[in-house]
Amino acid sequence: MGRIFPLLLCLLLGTQAAVADAKALKDRLKDIKKAWPKAPKSERLEWLTELGLESERTVDDFLLELVEKEADFDTAGEAAKALVAHKLAKDGKDLLKLYNRCKEPQRRAACVRWLGGYGAEAPLRELKDVALTDDGSAAAAALALIDAGGTEGLKQLDTVAQISKSADARRLAVGGLLKHGDRRGIDGLSKLAGIEDASFAAHFAVGGALETDALSEVLKFAKKRVNLGVGVRPHLFGSLLSRLTRKESHQAIFEARDTIDKSVDMELFSWLFSYCACGVDVKLALGALGRSEPDEILLGLRWLQRAPKALEGDELARTAEALLPLLNSDSDKLAGHALLAAAAAGVRGEAFQGRLSAWLADKERPQRRSAALLAAAKGKLPECKQAALDLLADDCWYVASAALEYVLALRLPEGAPLAFALARRQGDGRLFHEAMALLADLTGVDFGDDLAKWEQWFSANPNFKPAEGKLATLRGAKVTRTAKKTRARFYGLEIDSENVEFAIDRSISMIDPVTREPRRPDFKARKADVLKRRAEVNRLVRDGFLPRFHVAACEIAAALDGMNEKAKFGITLFNTESVMMGDKRVVNDLESRRNALSWLLSSEIKGGTDIKAALCVLCERGEADTILVLTDGDPLSLALIEQVQRSNAFTRVNIEVVSLHAKEQWRHYLDTVARLNAGRLVEAEPK
């Protein structure tokens, strides 16, 4: 009896707590229902997120009623999402019953879109039946099947891929199979309508085991004439090429290059010269070096820079001859890229060594020092060791970063104490992360950011031998944090730099209201502050949502508040032209933060977008070590991204991307920009 009583007491207390929680939830629901009719959509979506956290009968009934009657289909869909989040089978059945009663395809789509959240318990056959129709809800049902996954879910998805009447559902189903690594998706690719539909689906395979097989099916379409209309390029195909990660995928394109139709030559040759990582067509590359236009010459140099190993025999001799005048060029851009190309191709000689030595010692132009260090690292040239060790203490961040890369490439143990000293001076930020990552890679041990433990280890192991390396580059490396620390964030991206540039799209599309607000606790207060300081912005608010540009201003202000007060920052606004805040970068003190927000809120929003020009200028300046860019990515292409890459070759600025994508291809291109520049891509308005 003595043991039973405490157990009964616990059960009683638990029941009382559950009753109290249910009552609190009912009371909260009453408040929400009372305010709902006059509330803007922004608040309604926030409440739906709250109601999705816990189930209760009256809450479930309210959510189901919203799915059925809410005039805004997007809000109805969010209500269905909140209902499914409760994970109660009854709710799923109720949504299916509601689907059969609804007339509008958008509302039917809301009923089925999130049912995949039940996983193996999802109504898979019913979702398949919906996805097989030509109804406007078919694509939503296909997405739900992708979410559900599992053996049975993929079986139903395969049926959709084969015989659905909806083209959108078919290509989503094929993509979903590829995403889950199911080879039936490869068969489905060949049955899609054309190269863009096949490329859309193949994007789901990028980075996975089926990437190369999916690409091979897409290349079959590329061997036929592609005609999408006057002036319309196959951007889904182009962006697919830019995102490929597997060596076998690169090899497949390289080997098929002579069989691909001329209608996609623009995409093929842009990829070969700027992205191909499996080999060099020396004849094509040298042909570009023989042109008169610098841009065409740079294409050839950029391809040679990616040579997987040194050239030999006649190819080496012809390449050395072609590079000679470029190594002696008066243009720093041509000479610098020629240095990198020569290092990768195995070209040496007086012109190469002379330019390399002169630039390593050039105290006036940091990009020369950086280019020489990167060439020495690429060629693993031991004769540059002392210069590289000395340049670890360079005042220019990207020169010190390039010196770290040299130490990594040549596995120099004598560089470890100098890298440790650099990390200690930095304290945090990009160079700190790179220096600490170098130490972990060289030593084979990892004490994260614990400098005291590192100091003890070096004292105990002064003559350590370098471990086998794991890192190909230090760019993007993140040190292991040994203590919890609140980090500054920009649209959810954690900022690891103490030297940033915010590059914000200010084209006319940025006046459009957002569809989702950032999920940060203080956003409401920042939003209210913007509306108070700029009363005219109230006229631009729709459904309670601020314009995109003003949400960006709130995010910048929040990011700066979270950053170290000793950090440096700048802001660039771009449309078809770029405007910088002031004539120099500023320290992140309170006054600078206030001035930055005032400047942003007084800026004009207008014009088109030229993201390439803005990024090229910022990369060539190299003042910030990290760019945080917010844009919709339109327009971008393989060729435009290449121009950004060559502008960033010597400074190697990291680029983090926040996407406001309207179409898949722009988001995919933005993903490529981030990936090639040690950054990440996040959505500004995730749904």
417-471 pLDDT, tens digit per residue, is 999 999 999 999 999 999 999 999 999 999 999 999 999 999 999 999 999 999 9
Q: DSSP letter at 414?
A: G
The reported pLDDT for the residue numbered 5 is 57
- Predicted local distance difference test score (pLDDT) of residue 634: 75
What is the Cα–Cα distance from 221 to 261, expressed in whole angstroms?
9
Of the pLDDT bands very low, low, confident and very high (cuts 50, 70, 90), residue 19 is: low
Distance in angstroms (rounded) separating the CA atoms of residues 680 and 103 = 41
Give the pLDDT band of residue 39 (cuts 50, 70, 90).
Answer: very high
| Percent of the chain at pLDDT exceeding 70 | 96
486 phi, psi to nearest 5 deg = -70, 125
Which two tokens mark 598? 């005032």
The pTM of the full predicted model, rounded to 2 decimals, is 0.94
CA–CA separation, 572 and 563 (whole Å): 18
Those residues whose C-beta lies under 8 Å from the C-beta of residue 557, and which sit 6 or more positions away, are: 526, 593, 596, 597
Q: Which of 535, 559, 687, 561 minimizes the C-alpha distance to 630?
A: 559
State mean pLDDT over 523-550. 96
Cα–Cα distance for residue pair 492/658, rounded to 1 Å? 9
Domains detected in the chain: 489-683 (3.40.50.410)
Question: Three-state SS for 164?
Answer: coil
Virtual torsion, Cα 52, 53, 59, 65, nearest 10 deg: 0
Give residue 18's pLDDT. Answer: 47
Q: What is the DSSP letter of 547?
A: B
pLDDT for position 13? 43
Say what the pLDDT of residue 23 is.
Answer: 83
571-582 residue pLDDT tens = 999 999 999 999
pLDDT of residue 7: 55
Mean model confidence pLDDT for the chain? 95
3-state SS assignment for residue 26 = helix
Could you tell me how far CA 323 lies from the centroid of its own chain? 35
Q: Which of 447, 522, 514 is nearest to 482 (CA)?
A: 447
Question: How many whole angstroms separate alpha carbon 37 and alpha carbon 426?
Answer: 54
Cβ atoms of residues 392 and 415 within 8 Å: yes
Please report, as a single letter, which amino acid is at residue 541: V
Tens of pLDDT along 109-139? 999 999 999 999 999 999 999 999 999 999 9
Kindly tell me if the per-residue pLDDT of 56 is higher than 60: yes
If DSSP codes are grouped into helix, strand and coil, which group holds residue 497? coil
419/296 Cα distance (integer angstroms): 38
pLDDT per position as a tens digit, 659-682: 987 689 999 999 999 999 999 999
H and E: helices and strands count for the chain: 33, 9
Burial of 673 (0-12, 13-18, 19+ CB in 10 A): buried
User: What does the pLDDT read at residue 60?
Assistant: 96
pLDDT band at 161; cut points 50, 70, 90: very high
**Rounded Cα–Cα distance for residues 98 and 103 (Å):** 10
Question: Exposed/middle/buried for 680, CB within 10 Å: 0-12, 13-18, 19+?
Answer: middle
Return d(Cα 75, Cα 48) in angstroms, integer: 9
